[in-house]
Amino acid sequence: MQAVILAAGRGTRMGALTDSLPKPMLRVAGKTLLEHKFDILGPEFHEIILIIGYQGELIQNAFGDSYKGMPIRYLMQEELDGTMGALALARPHLSERFVVMMGDDIYAAEDLISAISVSDWAMLLEDMEHMASGGRIITDASGEVIDIEEGDHRGQLGLFNTNLFVLDPRIFEYPMVPKAAGSHEYGLPQTVLAASKALEIPLQSVLTTQWIQITAPEDIVRAETLIEDTSGS
């Protein structure tokens, strides 16, 4: 399998932390956010494809052409046209099943194993007690993803998309879908859901055991604590 990691954004909400460093290169528990993803890739994987943008040369200089023997391919996202726009850059290089992860989140190895064990497509979801605004994922009785409900879901229970997907090149047979009406950015979850319906490819939900989303400086501190607690348990 191949792993595509979307690491082009600056992460403006991180403030001064990303003035001179791309967000995926921020360190948590002694490792960069990218290394946290690299290190959960098991023997099923043979290539990393990194979509880079803001200060991407710092990422290239840090890792070079491989990580612990696994080749790295770099693709530059000149225009920030959304997560699906980023994935589309990798289309010429994807010939088999692949996983997509966000460059600034931390995922658990066991969740990745569960996701790639699904026979068709998979979406990793967090079962949240207190959602925020955004998309709530709707599944059917068998756990297949059937809809995304946009809106304000603050304080409600619901399933939240972690933006880890297991896909294959058939995703590129369907037109990219804007993340919202009138948006110039193309959304990965919106495109994946529409493609799964149109192409009749089951999109199976997989629930997380641990997912750490890094969106603000205080999340770095929270992540350090969570990882320390996990390591010590």
Question: Given this model, what pLDDT does residue 153 score?
Answer: 67
Q: Which residue has the tokens 């996990």?
A: 230
Q: Which residue has the tokens 């994922």?
A: 137
CB 91 within 8 A of CB 11: no
Tell me the sheet residues that pair with 3. 48, 99
pTM of this prediction? 0.94
Query: Could you tell me the pLDDT band of residue 181, with boundaries at 50, 70 and 90?
Result: confident
Q: What is the pLDDT of residues 137-175, one digit of tens each?
A: 999 999 999 999 877 666 778 999 999 999 999 999 999
Q: What domain count does the chain have?
A: 1
Per the prediction, the chain carries an average pLDDT of 93
Helix/strand/coil (H, E, C) string of the chain?
CEEEEEECCCCHHHHHHHCCCCHHHCEECCEEHHHHHHCCCCCCCCEEEEEECCCHHHHHHHHCCEECCEEEEEEECCCCCCHHHHHHCCHHHCCCCEEEEECCEEECHHHHHHHHCCCCEEEEEEEECCCCEEEEEEECCCCEEEEEEEEECCCCCEEEEEEEEEECHHHHHCCCCECCCCCCCECHHHHHHHHHHHCCCCEEEEECCCEEECCCHHHHHHHHHHHHHHHHC
| CATH code for the domain in which residue 75 is found | 3.90.550.10
Domain of residue 192 covers 2-232
Phi-psi sector, 125: left (phi>0), alpha (psi -120 to 50), beta:
beta
Per-residue pLDDT, averaged over 166-186, amounts to 95
Per-residue pLDDT, averaged over 83-90, amounts to 97
Q: What is the pLDDT of residues 6-29, one digit of tens each?
A: 999 878 888 888 988 999 999 999
Amino acid at 30: G
Question: Given this model, what pLDDT does residue 10 score?
Answer: 78
In angstroms, the CA 9 to CA 26 distance is: 13
Q: Which residue has the tokens 């110039």?
A: 184
Q: What is the pLDDT of residues 25-64, one digit of tens each?
A: 999 999 999 999 999 999 999 999 999 999 999 999 999 9
pLDDT at 133 over 70: no
